[in-house]
Amino acid sequence: MTTGMPQALRADALDNRERILSAARALFSAEGLNVPTRKIARRAGVGVATLYRRFPTRQDLVTAAFTDRLRACRAIVDEGCAAPDPWHGLCLVIEKICELHARDRGLTEAYLSAYPQAAEVPADREHTVRAVAELARRAKAAGRLRADFVLDDLILMLMANKGIHAASSDARVAASRRFAAFVIEAFEERPR
């Protein structure tokens, strides 16, 4: 008889799961989502069959690997929305999101569209989109965000930020910060 409750993993199985997630996060961050499953398993010190036993599909693995990062994105947006000045809140969101995405090359792919069927991703994405839309509406009403700004501009920003390549993570983050400053300047309303 099944109870419908997930079965607790043995200690060794739980250890394997955590090693797989750690390896996947590191490789997705460095190389993007197209890392071969075999490479993830090898780095985790497990066989491919063990990886598939824990994560039957790539979607399952990506979703589990990015859950914390997606929560971090949501927390950044919530922090920006809580700022009393909506323009400063939006600038904070742009700066921190660009940096977070620069540190993790696979995050942009996972967030934007790689696995839209994963339940957690659309829920977080929907909350984030609604919250940023409201923040942008407030910044426009305050006269600080250019009137022709649309949310797709942020998608373009993420895609362009993902294109930053550098020899090290620190150099990529520094370039991303400079890029975010340019984006903020471009989004700011200026008297014509």
Tens-digit pLDDT profile for residues 9-33: 678 778 999 999 999 999 998 888 8
**Distance set, CA 147 to CA 129, 163, 187 (Å):** 18, 27, 9
From the centroid of its chain, how far is CA 88?
21
pTM tops 0.95, yes or no: no
Domain shared by 74 and 108, yes or no: yes
Q: What is the pLDDT of residues 150-184, one digit of tens each?
A: 999 998 998 899 888 888 889 999 999 999 999 99
Q: What is the extent of the structural domain holding 118?
A: 65-187
Q: What angle do CA 100, 105, 110 make, to 5 degrees?
A: 90
Domain shared by 35 and 127, yes or no: no
Crossing angle of helices 58-82 and 120-141, in 10° steps, is 20
* Residue that is written with structure tokens 């950044």 in the block: 76
How high is the pLDDT of residue 97? 93
Domain shared by 103 and 177, yes or no: yes
Closest-CA residue to 119 (of 60, 77, 34, 51) = 60
Give yes or no for a contact between 158 and 105, defined as CB atoms under 8 angstroms apart.
no
Token reading at 94: 């742009």
How many independent structural domains does the chain possess? 2
